[in-house]
Homo-oligomer: A and B are copies of this chain.
Amino acid sequence: MMKNAVGRELPERIGSYVVRPYAGPEATPALETPVQSRRIAGRARPEQSKLLPSLTEAIRAVGLKDGMTISFHHSFREGDLVVGQVLEAIRALGIKDLRFAPSAVVNPKGLSLASFVQDGTISRVEASGIRGELGDGLINGAISLTQPAILRTHGARPRAIEAGELSIDVAFIAASASDAWGNCTGQLGANPCGSLGYSFVDARSAEKVVVITDTLVEYPCCPASISQEYVDYVVQVEQIGDPAKIGAGAARLTKNPRDLQIAREVARVMAASRRFREGFSFQTGAGAIAIACTKYLGEEMKARNLRASFALGGITAGIVDLYDAGRVRVVECSQSFDAVAAKAILDRPGVVEIDNAAYANAFNKGNFLNHLDFGVLGALEVDTDFNVNILTGSSGQMMGGLGGGPDVAACAGVSIVALPILRGRTPSVVKRVFTCCTPGETVACVVTQAGIALNPRHRNYQELKEDLERAGIQLTTIEALQQLAESLTGVPKPIETTDEIVAVVEYRDGTVMDVIRKLKE
């Protein structure tokens, strides 16, 4: 056993997985090796149609075999209808032992990912998160994989793919419109999902690429997010997803007064910072607090007559409103978080789709996050070291995904974790998070309804402290917040685990931030 830089005990190996312990947000240099590609040159001829009549035909045509790696994007989130259709077709063909490597796991109604693990179709999982039946099954021991699930941030996934750690055999890419030769987009068609930012690296790197659409358009599809140069086959299905479920309710402005209060405080913190100036940049995200925060931020911008240079990441209708109001010059959209955002790219020249690697990959020649002034982050728990848990809930169950949170925290000049100090009978500010996802030193500030705490270990601590004090914003300490939470809820019973590791939490640089162990029965 060894301890990493956030004090987590880690074995040196987990099966065949060699643990590189997390050593600091910028401690790992990029590998000085060429970027890898599994893509095979092809020779598509005009007379060869790429259009196949069924997913089954496509799976046969790409030569999917036992043990291979398949990928998907999760842009439809709970509205996704492609993952299930593809897995059902694979199951029917009897192909087993696959590595399932979507950008994140989705849980649309009627899809039981656990059942594909149970019957051996899937034996390994690598994703941003494994929320739902799949993750809970692993943690409870109801199902098991041949290797621990590897959880990666949105920035870490393209890094791992290009480093050769995650080589994709077949990428299945849901596109809301495609021509028969694979020029495709998420912006047109019956069911737009907006940005296909997650899939760019898959298209570039996977050995085989299958585009799945419900809206076949005349050649050439324009705009085309992904080019025919990368696509082997196209399959038309009845429906690829339901855009109304992308936001899953999150897109509505909350009426919860506690969340509104936290959101207002976050916007106040931002407005008090010296970085809140003409041309600043921000990412607010998609939770209830984040959406309210975007609204309050817009009010602060209007009051000061400021225009942001860019808004980044997962984009909501609220951000599109700010763009339309002239408050944001460019919206760099790696994911569309609701149906409004999904349609916004098409007719707004400054709302643009970006490659997820351009958004957040730490091991390329630069990304948008490197230029971010403010990042607002949700969390399940934060501890007195400012470490953040965005994966596991109060009983150890799988609640979230890593998403871009750890990437945003590492880069934003002011990274703000916004959360209530307790949820129900469970404290959210604790002595030690159950699962460490985001290292505390990358968190500048925690905002709760009970006070704002700055992190003395953050690189911009002095700057932010001065700015907030000048604005008359009262500060507390993370310890005080933790004690207050505990005084209201009592000390929660610790979650007991076995030694068996079911998931590895990788940091953006490929080191291990934490592991998730099977719970004691």
A residues in contact (CB < 8 Å) with B: 26, 29-46, 50, 159, 162-163, 181-182, 207, 209, 218-220, 222-224, 227-232, 279, 309-310, 329-330, 332, 347, 349-350, 352, 354-355, 357-358, 361-368, 370-371, 411
Contacts and interface: CB of A to CB of B under 8 A. Distances in A.
Given A42-B365, A181-B371, 19 more contacts: A30-B41, A31-B41, A32-B40, A34-B36, A34-B40, A35-B40, A41-B159, A41-B162, A41-B363, A44-B365, A220-B330, A220-B332, A224-B352, A228-B367, A229-B357, A229-B366, A231-B365, A231-B366, A347-B349
Number of copies: 2
Contact of A227 (B31, B33, B358): B358
Overall SS of chain A's interface: loop
Given A163-B41, A222-B330, A229 B367 contact: yes
Contact of A43 (B39, B42, B362): B362
B43 A181 contact: no
A37 B37 contact: yes
Q: Which 7 A-B pairs have the closest CB atoms?
A: A44-B366, A30-B43, A42-B365, A46-B370, A228-B366, A229-B364, A222-B330
Contacts of A39: 34-35
B34 A38 contact: yes
Given A218-B309, A309-B218, A366-B44, A358 B35 contact: no
A309 B180 CA distance: 14
A41 B33 contact: yes
A374 to B, nearest CB: 13
A34 B42 CA distance: 10
Nearest to A221: B330
B350 A222 contact: yes
Given A41-B30, A355-B229, A363-B42, A220 B370 contact: no
A357 B354 CA distance: 20
A181 B366 contact: yes
